[in-house]
Chain A
Amino acid sequence: MATDARILPLTRPAPRGILRSLLLTLPIFIWSPLMMGFRPGAKFDPVSTTAAAITALFMTVLFYIMMRTNSTYRWRRIFFVSLGILFPIGFIHNLYVMRGSMGIPIEEMIAGRTPFCFMPIPLLILPAAFTRTVIFPGSIASSSHGIAAMVGLWLALTLVMGKGWCSYACFFGGIEEGVAAIPPRAKIRKLDPRLRYIPWAVLLAMVLLSLALFEPAYCMWLCPFKAVSEYVAARNTVGLVQNVIFILLFAGLVIVLPFLTKKRTQCSWFCPFGAFQSIFNKISIFEMRIDKERCKPCLVCQNACPNLSLSKESVARGETLLSCMKCGACVDACPRQAIVWHIKGTQIAWKPERARLMFLYAAWAMAIMFGGSIIAQGIITILHVFV
């Protein structure tokens, strides 16, 4: 391959001009209000309209800054952490309004009114394939929070982003990314690289256990995010043990370890859905690549990656690991601009900004549609409760 020094400057590019940045933001400026429900004939409700307007403005301004500064990670992180904070606020408030508790009673499960989250999707596949049975106490066709609705949304977003789901859509990941952003430096720096295989082991174990026990085993026993969403109401000792496990895992993997390591430890070391989602990076057209001729393996990128998706070996090969979430941290951190956004099939480092723009348009459009509505719901809750 020809040297890429002619293609990319070694120093970080200067900020884009204001006018050009505004022009690049124009599609998002149009898309955001559309997704937030500002359509002709839409009903006017002051609280919802205010929340929608704040969200649309928030998403548009962040995109503008990404265009202006040529950096992605820290601005995406603002959106993502907001999503992580506002999701539990809106969701838990709704639960308390509807039933006065975060614990889901058995009546609601029998009635098929358990909201379906994306986490159990990989656990449902084998029982559905072998017995045509959905092992989740929800409703398949219900329009809101139904299984088909969430699976449909997940399919579309996965087609667009692959593992990017974990950086632009997962409303749980934002919590640990927010915690990881708090300390200036990691207190624990040396992390055993073998830890990154654990999610695959958890995925395999949970898939097989779910098939054997005929229940979504991860949701019933190991999901740390039950602590900030919805859990099975403790009716007996087993239920009590389950809830203690949820709280301990949340405290350990989502609060303490991200604070100490500045990594998304639940995602990197535990999440079976994340491992499952990694498979879809194979079909995603967008990826991160490392220009080997330009890279002096300083491994700044490895330290910057919040998900342990870079290793010495992968850097030497010029690629990220399968678990890459396309968050852009490595690209922004690289002092030699050796890591680039890339479209499969094209020459590495040839117009990487074009690849970044195409990915960001697709991912941000999805983030506004899915995450934006969650953020708006959280703002509505805050407005209702405090204003």
Chain B
Amino acid sequence: MKLRPILGYTAAGATVLVALLTPFFLYDFFSKGVVALPLHVDEVYSGGPTVRTIPMGAYSINVHRPVYPHMLQSEKPFVQLDWQPVSALPQHISDVVDIDGDGQPGVRVSFDVPRDPKAPLHVDVDSLNPRYESMHHAGKEKYSRLIVRVDNVILVRVPLVR
């Protein structure tokens, strides 16, 4: 028997073996390999990492790192602010937030906190620093300007002036 057929049948046998090993070993091995890659979900979706937490008594505000869209991405740069936990929030929020951490107010954020978790949210953002855009009665039109509730957090995304 020549070498090529031997190699062919060996590879075919190995393929059957791969199929048998997949549910017990290989699937997990490949998946963990992908997890181990230095990848992260686009920050336009995830909101970027938290850089500061501002304690507000019963609740706190997480300030995220500003997110800058890539290339032709149809979003504005924005910064995400999280109010949490929702259960500790008063019925109405009107907070001045120092986003930059420079001791100067950045924006005033105002919104109602409905008890029904599925009720629509709307937010008013008054810019106190020219770096940030104001928003009035914003809902969840775009990733870069929205207010949504995710589990026990209400997050607001404030667009940055380009």
Residues of A within 8 A of B (CB): 35, 105-107, 109-112, 127-128, 131-141, 146-149, 151-153, 155-157, 159-160, 211-215, 235-236, 284-286, 343-347, 355, 358-359, 361-363, 365-366, 369
Q: Which residue of A lies closest to B22 (CB)?
A: A156
Out of B16, B29, B141, B143, name the residue touching A362 (CB < 8 Å): B16
B71 & A214 in contact (Cβ 8 Å cutoff) = yes
B41 & A362 in contact (Cβ 8 Å cutoff) = no
B34 & A140 in contact (Cβ 8 Å cutoff) = yes
Contact residues in B for A153 (Cβ distance below 8 Å):
27, 30-31
Q: Count of A-B contacts with CB under 8 A?
A: 153
User: A110-B155, A141-B35 in contact; A152/B8 too (CB < 8 A)?
Assistant: no
Contact residues in A for B115 (Cβ distance below 8 Å):
none
A235 & B151 in contact (Cβ 8 Å cutoff) = no
Q: Is B26 an interface residue (CB 8 A)?
A: yes
Taken together as a complex, chains A and B put the C-alpha atoms of A303 and B32 apart, in Å, by 43
A140 & B5 in contact (Cβ 8 Å cutoff) = no
A286 & B15 in contact (Cβ 8 Å cutoff) = yes
Residues of B within 8 A of A (CB): 4-5, 7-9, 11-13, 15-16, 18-20, 22-23, 26-35, 37-47, 69-74, 140-141, 143, 146, 148-151, 155
Taken together as a complex, chains A and B put the C-alpha atoms of A152 and B28 apart, in Å, by 7
A110 & B45 in contact (Cβ 8 Å cutoff) = yes
B interface: dominant SS: helix
| 3 tightest A-B CB contacts, nearest first | A345-B8, A152-B31, A152-B30
A156 & B26 in contact (Cβ 8 Å cutoff) = yes
Taken together as a complex, chains A and B put the C-alpha atoms of A147 and B45 apart, in Å, by 14
A139 & B41 in contact (Cβ 8 Å cutoff) = yes
Q: Which residue of B lies closest to A106 (CB)?
A: B140
User: A160-B18, A286-B15 in contact; A214/B42 too (CB < 8 A)?
Assistant: yes
7 A–B pairs (Cβ distance < 8 Å), ordered by A? A110-B143, A134-B42, A151-B31, A213-B72, A285-B12, A286-B12, A345-B7
User: A156-B26, A214-B71, A214-B73 in contact; A112/B41 too (CB < 8 A)?
Assistant: yes
Out of B5, B73, B140, name the residue touching A345 (CB < 8 Å): B5
A346 & B15 in contact (Cβ 8 Å cutoff) = no
B5 & A346 in contact (Cβ 8 Å cutoff) = yes
Nearest chain B CB to A124's CB is how many angstroms away?
A: 9
A236 & B141 in contact (Cβ 8 Å cutoff) = yes
Kindly list 4 other residue pairs between chains A and B, CB separation below 8 angstroms, not including A137-B45, A140-B34, A149-B31.
A35-B23, A140-B40, A148-B35, A160-B19
Out of A127, A131, A159, A344, name the residue touching B8 (CB < 8 Å): A344
B9 & A135 in contact (Cβ 8 Å cutoff) = no
Out of B19, B34, B42, B45, name the residue touching A361 (CB < 8 Å): B19
Nearest chain B CB to A360's CB is how many angstroms away?
A: 10
Taken together as a complex, chains A and B put the C-alpha atoms of A140 and B37 apart, in Å, by 10
Contact residues in B for A215 (Cβ distance below 8 Å):
73
Nearest chain B CB to A83's CB is how many angstroms away?
A: 17
A interface: dominant SS: helix
B12 & A358 in contact (Cβ 8 Å cutoff) = yes
Nearest chain A CB to B97's CB is how many angstroms away?
A: 19
B42 & A358 in contact (Cβ 8 Å cutoff) = no
Contact residues in A for B30 (Cβ distance below 8 Å):
151-153, 155-156
Nearest chain A CB to B98's CB is how many angstroms away?
A: 24
Contact residues in B for A139 (Cβ distance below 8 Å):
41
Nearest chain A CB to B93's CB is how many angstroms away?
A: 18
Nearest chain B CB to A276's CB is how many angstroms away?
A: 17
Nearest chain B CB to A378's CB is how many angstroms away?
A: 20
Taken together as a complex, chains A and B put the C-alpha atoms of A109 and B47 apart, in Å, by 11
Taken together as a complex, chains A and B put the C-alpha atoms of A212 and B70 apart, in Å, by 8
Chain A CB count within 10 A is highest, among B143, B150, B155, for B150
Out of A109, A149, A155, A358, name the residue touching B16 (CB < 8 Å): A358
Taken together as a complex, chains A and B put the C-alpha atoms of A356 and B37 apart, in Å, by 37
A133 & B11 in contact (Cβ 8 Å cutoff) = no
A346 & B46 in contact (Cβ 8 Å cutoff) = no
Out of A156, A213, A361, name the residue touching B73 (CB < 8 Å): A213
A147 & B23 in contact (Cβ 8 Å cutoff) = no
A140 & B41 in contact (Cβ 8 Å cutoff) = yes
Contact residues in A for B73 (Cβ distance below 8 Å):
213-215
Taken together as a complex, chains A and B put the C-alpha atoms of A132 and B70 apart, in Å, by 12
